[in-house]
Amino acid sequence: MTASGLNRFLPVEDASLARPVAAEPPGEPAGLLPHERELLRILAAGHSDETAARRLGVSVRTVRRMMAGICERLDARSRFQAGILAARQGWI
């Protein structure tokens, strides 16, 4: 590691220069990653988990894990409810 690489770990001397780190990629709604948004779009179009997995280049198990995470963040009791809540939040 170079000396310049260490500088990013040092405290900022002037608080006016400090900037918050973005938790989400630019342009994405809070709490939703780009691949999760695409998953919601695919499923909202009526496609199966298997189709979503193929389109995203992941396993069906990963698709189901991603949806479980989305349901948890939305406090949804079902995938159907998660779809409604995601639409209300402008995620799809």
Structural element, H or E, at residue 83: helix 79-88
Contact 39, 64 (CB under 8 A): no
Query: Is residue 18 one of the residues assigned to a domain?
Result: no
pLDDT of residue 26: 43
Residue-range definition of the domain harbouring residue 75: 32-92
**7-59 pLDDT, tens digit each:** 444 444 545 544 444 444 444 456 689 999 999 999 999 999 999 999 999 99
Domain count, the chain: 1
Structural element, H or E, at residue 67: helix 60-74
Distance CA(81)–CA(92), nearest Å, equals 13
**56-73 pLDDT, tens digit each:** 999 999 999 999 999 999
Query: Is residue 6 one of the residues assigned to a domain?
Result: no
Domain harbouring 63, CATH code: 1.10.10.10
Query: Is residue 17 one of the residues assigned to a domain?
Result: no
Statement: residue 6 has pLDDT above 90: no
